[in-house]
Amino acid sequence: SKVLNVARASIWLYSEDRQKLVCEDLFEADKNLHAACGDLQAKNYTGYFSALRDSRVISADSEQTDPRTSEFTDTCLKPVGITSMLDATIRVGEQDIGVLCLEHIGKQRQWTLDEQKFVGSVADLLSLAMEVQRHHEAKETLKRSQQMLMLHMQQTSVGMIEWDKNFHVMEWNNAAEQIFGYTKEEALGRHACDLIVPESAKPHVNAIWQELLKDAGGVGSANENLTKHEDIITCDWYNTTLTDAHGVVIGVASLVQDITAKKEAEDKLSQ
């Protein structure tokens, strides 16, 4: 506003359906005030919305007679005294997400090429700032989600174990400690077959593991396991392959429940 000596500078962003522009901030230089000023419906300003689709910069020296902006004459221009307008679209990637609007009050302005380039550059800076802010918000959201997931993982009654692609323990929650008797510190880094798989179950477990490494998806199974105190228990497992952004297998996540008592009851009932 100061550099170009304009009375009003505002930022507008498209709604999700792109049928309106919503004012995020309006700066009025004479009042040194930031405010909001509603929205613009595409159906009421078809010429302006069409111009935004076709042009990066709208340079309207005579705003009230320029066909791209004349639709604003009675509703926005005359009541405030706006005579000239200089707009630039705000782009993220290849998509326009909004508009930077500069409005002049008083004698009509003849916008120079340098001024038009300048407002385009400011719109680019806005785009960059918004991307940085969105990236920061996404990181914060991810952080909160991870914290909630970790809290749930530690408090759930279901054993939750994460393995690396070599079948070593990477994560071990409280329920897994209760089921198998090993603390997290005792379990981390240990191979499954050296930790909780009895000799009799190793062929079956290794076959399931090889299937998971082929990224065959989720695999459910029930098999015998070994506790720290060398008790044989029956566990119900559901395993899901973990992959990186390129689809390469990096590990497996497992949910496990001790169903020994349930199985014994079912066997007795069957007998």
Tell me the average pLDDT of the chain: 90
pLDDT over threshold 70, residue 187: yes
Residues 173, 160 contacting (CB under 8 angstroms)? yes
Closest to 8 (Cα-Cα) out of 36, 37, 31, 28:
28
pLDDT in tens, 58-67: 998 886 788 8
When pLDDT is cut at 50, 70 and 90, the band that residue 203 belongs to is very high
pLDDT over threshold 90, residue 74: no
Helix or strand holding residue 150 (H, E): helix 113-155
pLDDT over threshold 70, residue 209: yes
Determine how many CB atoms are found less than 10 A away from the CB of residue 221: 15
When pLDDT is cut at 50, 70 and 90, the band that residue 216 belongs to is low
Residues 137, 129 contacting (CB under 8 angstroms)? no
Average pLDDT over residues 242-271: 90
pLDDT in tens, 135-186: 888 888 888 888 887 777 777 889 999 999 999 999 999 999 999 999 999 9
When pLDDT is cut at 50, 70 and 90, the band that residue 85 belongs to is very high
pLDDT reported for residue 233: 96
Q: Can you give the pTM of this predicted structure? A: 0.56
